[in-house]
Amino acid sequence: MKQSQTNQNQGISRRSFIKTTAAGLIATASVSAVKSATAQNNRLGIGIIGCGGRGTHLSQVVKYLQDNDKTVQFKAFCDIYRPRLDKLADIYGGKKYMDYRELLNDKEVDVVIIATPDHHHARQTIEAVKAGKHVYCEKPMTHWTQWELAKQMTEAVKQSDCVFQIGTQAMSDSVWKQMKELVEQGKIGQPVHVECGYFRLGDWGERGMPIDDPNAKPGPDLNWDAFLEDAPKREFDVSRFFRWRMYADYAGGMSTDLYPHILTPVVYTIGVHMPKIVVGIGGKLRYEEREIPDTFDMLINYNNKTDLALLGTQANEYQGTALRGQNRVPVIRGWEGTLTINEEDIVYWPAKALKTQNPERIPIQKGENLTDYLRSFIDCCMRKDKNTLSPIDMAFEVQTTLIMGMLSWKDSKMYTYEEGKGPIAL
């Protein structure tokens, strides 16, 4: 897919949809605190909660915005593992906390960036908005067992004056808004079938997470109880602490780690909300060391009108053809035609295309860019505009769908969604 030209020289563009190359960066902000920050120097004070790989990556983006846009400024860092906390805070400058609640009490912090394990996201977000901080929260919204907490998190954000954005930076790509407009104009008629996938080779993100110190142990510099929070109580395990994405107590694998990146823009594009039926299947088909699936497929029905197939594996990176949902590129079929994406264009085919017929091509205006995604969020914080590129309601709908897929896989049952009750097994 088309790659943004903005800031390419600084290496800040995220992965394109066809080419699975690395790059990218991000950030966040707060509401009542906006007044004090803007009154002083028109900069929002940033607090980073979680100084691991993702927190480090996001801090690079904050540094870029601090130096170039001059809209933000590092104020504080927090991590339950002191060596990571010291490393990041010493690089960028800021106060150090090992308890996130102390950071939330810091009046110089206007915005928090939450880059902690999945099972921490909801409570940290709830407490942050209660403290008057804007929140940029990494996906997934919650752990896959925490639907009630996801609901509480949604309510807390909506009841506050704080701006919220979930970390699905694909929404910075103009292609989704362009395709959404085509769908709304009736270009493909009623959307009836969507295919998309996420294919990688290697136990990426799990065993690939570094063990900083094989001899690390709980103590003043490593708070194991804080890591566990409300997860099942277990004796300290160095792999669980550093490679937490391998374990079902703390993560959901492809479903909640990768699929938010494609499901979020797709549901936005076709205009659907809560699913009617979800089925999830998968398993450890290659990498036995982990607890969660390395291959996971979901079938989702929306309102008895649109079916969506979300497919993926970490056992093979072959992307297939563009018209089979290549990588994160969707194929959206409607009664009248089909939309998909190549490197530079949106591609339209009529529902009954002749073999000799050439498709209609619509240039993509601007590619995905993590810095732009953060910049948009900061702008929303400055203007107290809660209509971010990935707001809380959409995050909740996507997370509910992914939770239903994981529950379906775990229970070997179809799941439906009932308003007021949540996911229900059939």
The structure tokens 């029905």 sit at 301
Give Cβ neighbours of residue 176 (< 8 Å, ≥ 6 apart): 170, 265, 268, 269
User: Which architecture does CATH list for 8-170+371-390?
Assistant: 3-Layer(aba) Sandwich (3.40)
Query: Which of 20, 16, 21, 18 minimizes the C-alpha distance to 4?
Result: 16
Residue 158, classed as helix, strand or coil, is helix
What gap in Å lies between CA 360 and CA 345, rounded to an integer? Answer: 9
Q: What is the full DSSP assignment across 51-114?
A: -SHHHHHHHHHHHHIIIII--EEEEEEE-SBHHHHHHHHHHH--EEESSHHHHHT-TT--EEEE
Kindly report the number of other CB atoms within 10 A of residue 374's CB atom. Answer: 30
Amino acid 325: pLDDT: 54
Amino acid 327: pLDDT: 60
What gap in Å lies between CA 299 and CA 10, rounded to an integer? Answer: 39
Domain boundaries 174-205+252-365+400-425, CATH class: alpha beta
CB 187 within 8 A of CB 337: yes
Amino acid 342: pLDDT: 86
What gap in Å lies between CA 293 and CA 344, rounded to an integer? Answer: 33
Amino acid 18: pLDDT: 32
**Could you tell me how far CA 211 lies from the centroid of its own chain?**
23
**Quick one: how many helices (H) and strands (E) in the chain?**
13, 16
CB 349 within 8 A of CB 235: no
User: Where does residue 359 rank: exposed (0-12), middle (13-18), buried (19+ CB within 10 A)?
Assistant: middle
DSSP annotation of 417: E
Residue 389, classed as helix, strand or coil, is coil
Strand 295-302 with 134-137, pairing:
unpaired
CB 410 within 8 A of CB 253: no
What gap in Å lies between CA 47 and CA 396, rounded to an integer? Answer: 24
Please list the pLDDT of the chain residue by residue as tens digits (426 residues).
554 433 333 333 333 433 333 333 333 333 344 444 443 568 999 999 999 999 999 999 999 999 999 999 999 999 999 999 999 999 999 999 999 999 999 999 999 999 999 999 999 999 999 999 999 999 999 999 999 999 999 999 999 999 999 999 999 999 999 999 999 999 999 999 999 988 888 876 677 788 999 999 999 999 999 999 999 999 999 999 999 999 999 999 999 999 999 999 999 999 999 999 999 999 999 998 899 999 999 999 999 999 999 999 999 888 765 555 556 689 999 999 999 998 789 999 999 877 778 899 999 999 899 999 999 999 999 999 999 999 999 999 999 999 999 999 999 999 999 998 999 999
Q: Domain ranges in the chain?
A: 8-170+371-390, 174-205+252-365+400-425
Amino acid 343: pLDDT: 78
Amino acid 322: pLDDT: 57
Nearest 5 degrees, angle CA 356-CA 322-CA 404?
A: 135
Amino acid 356: pLDDT: 72
What gap in Å lies between CA 337 and CA 347, rounded to an integer? Answer: 10
DSSP annotation of 358: P
What gap in Å lies between CA 129 and CA 32, rounded to an integer? Answer: 10
Residue 238 CA: distances (Å) to CA of 88, 210, 215, 233, 316: 21, 11, 8, 15, 28
